[in-house]
Amino acid sequence: MEHVFETHAHYDDEWFEEDRDALLVQFPGQGIEKVVNIAASLASIPTTIALAEQYDYIYAAVGVHPSETKELTEENFSLVREMAQHPKAVAVGEIGLDYYWDETERSVQKYWFERQIELARELKKPLVIHSRDAAKDTMDMMKALHTEEIGGVIHCFSNSVEMAKEYVNMGFYIGVGGVVTFKNARVLKEVVQAIPLERIVLETDSPYLAPVPYRGKRNCSLYLPYVVTAISELKQVSEEEVVQVTNKNAHQLYRLEGEWLN
Ligand code: NI
């Protein structure tokens, strides 16, 4: 496969410590055209930007994951704002609400979710949304804050068909990864069938959520063809069409339109 656009990975993770560069240099030759590396904590913002500076096909999303928001202060948030203006920072994320890991108070998560949404609005960059066990609160906040004016992606989508359609109506893309290859992922398969291919983007969330047959192992973008195959079967279109359409979607999502299929 060629022209695969990986919209969500964490290659600065320590799991890649030993072979990071050896892995990343293979991507252009293996059909991975572009990668957006997603920051998730204060510490991962500079490491994400460093990867984007080192590789021309890697871009950065700058933001703080809901479970890490307890480390944010006014002072370090001004650094986040600064780093989010890096020329290769294409989005604000991953940000949102996570009630699965209850280590950060919900009120703290909500406060910094709103602040980071407002940062994206100010910088005119799309949102990379993380929502886990917090579907209603995430949607309520996104509606109240008029995020349909900002746009972005709901990463690793794991909610109902109805909610997927609602996000699509708000102009958001739906991130689909390795989970779609799992036998028990009935609802996600229904989501993929229910929404237009024009609203789906490919992601791995590497090093997590490897597709079958690598389930449970370290994930990487080279496994995206398994996700492409699963989507092509669910949508009854060719793998080539899945790659081409999701590539175009990802360029529009991250506002790299001028570079589509260059
Ligand atoms: Ni992630």
Task: Return the pLDDT at 262.
Answer: 44
Q: Which amino acid is it at 114?
A: E
- Alpha-carbon distances of 259 from 5, 50, 53, 262, rounded to whole Å: 12, 22, 18, 5
Distance between Cα 94 and ligand 1 center (Å) = 7
Distance between Cα 13 and ligand 1 center (Å) = 11
Distance between Cα 93 and ligand 1 center (Å) = 9
Check residue 117 and give left, alpha or beta (phi > 0: left; psi -120 to 50: alpha). alpha
Q: pLDDT-derived band of residue 83, with 50, 70 and 90 as boundaries?
A: very high
Task: Return the pLDDT at 260.
Answer: 56
- The CA distance from 197 to 207, in Å, is 25
List the structure tokens of 121.
């609005």
- Phi, psi torsion values for 84, nearest 5 degrees: -70, -10
Distance between Cα 149 and ligand 1 center (Å) = 23
Distance between Cα 97 and ligand 1 center (Å) = 13
Listed residues: CB within 5 A of ion ligand 1: 205
- The CA distance from 84 to 49, in Å, is 9
pTM of the model: 0.97
- Phi, psi torsion values for 60, nearest 5 degrees: -125, 145
Task: Return the pLDDT at 259.
Answer: 64
- The CA distance from 236 to 140, in Å, is 34
Distance between Cα 136 and ligand 1 center (Å) = 20
Q: Determine the average pLDDT of the residues in 216-239.
A: 98
List the structure tokens of 196.
């237009």
- The CA distance from 207 to 220, in Å, is 6
Distance between Cα 127 and ligand 1 center (Å) = 13
Query: Are the C-beta atoms of 52 and 83 separated by less than 8 Å?
Result: no
Q: Which residues pair with 61 in a beta bridge?
A: 38, 91
pLDDT tens by residue, 118-173: 999 999 999 999 999 999 999 999 999 999 999 999 999 999 999 999 999 999 99
- The CA distance from 29 to 96, in Å, is 34
